[in-house]
């Protein structure tokens, strides 16, 4: 495990967040970094919120007035060819915001555990922080889905 990965948690909801869930999110973040071969020290912020909180952020930052499951706010523009600064001790990758309400609803809808859904959302968001996207083309969408699937399988959370 990447001991040099700093993860900052904030719970912006009344839903209690168990320590085990934070450990799972940490494992998903580190698994994503390991899978991508990210060598720098990294910082990631994770905020747990509810549907109302994520809806407000989605409206403010994406002009979409509805709740979503996860939002990613990258600090490094890998898409523009930017490499992480190697002379900096730690690279702030960005922020992940997860709606625990939406995660619970989707877990029920898809027939898997809440924990598996939160891990999936974390991996999905980490790939965004690392420069991947799924909205520009079918090829990018397929590549991102493949990476998500492989990371979750390595974590023992693949869908059978």
Domain edges within the chain: 5-154
Instruction: With beta carbons less than 8 A apart as the criterion, state whether 72 and 21 touch.
Output: no
The reported pTM is: 0.91
pLDDT at 134: 74
Q: How far apart are the C-alpha atoms of 10 and 51, rounded to whole Å?
A: 16
Compute the distance between CA of residue 92 and CA of residue 6 in angstroms, rounded to an integer: 9
pLDDT reported for residue 1 = 45
Structural fold of domain 5-154: Collagenase (Catalytic Domain) (3.40.390)
Please state whether 37 falls in left (phi above 0), alpha (psi between -120 and 50) or beta.
left
Residues in the chain predicted with pLDDT less than 70, given as ranges, are 1-3, 78-88, 159-160
pLDDT at 160: 53
């Amino acid at each position: 495990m990447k001991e040099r990965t700093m993860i900052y948690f904030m719970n912006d909801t009344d839903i209690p967040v168990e320590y085990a869930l934070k450990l799972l999110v940490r494992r998903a973040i580190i698994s994503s970094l390991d899978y991508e071969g990210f060598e720098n020290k990294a910082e990631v912020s994770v905020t747990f919120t509810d549907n109302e909180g994520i809806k407000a952020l989605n409206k403010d930052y994406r002009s979409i007035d509805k709740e979503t499951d996860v939002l990613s706010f990258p600090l490094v523009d890998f898409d523009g060819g930017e490499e992480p600064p190697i002379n900096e001790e730690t690279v702030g990758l960005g922020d992940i915001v997860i709606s625990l309400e939406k995660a619970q609803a989707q877990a029920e809808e898809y027939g898997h555990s809440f924990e598996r859904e939160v891990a999936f959302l974390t991996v999905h968001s980490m790939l965004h922080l690392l420069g991947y996207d799924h909205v520009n083309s079918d090829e990018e969408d397929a590549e991102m889905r493949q990476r998500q699937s492989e990371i979750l399988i390595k974590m023992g959370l693949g869908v059978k």
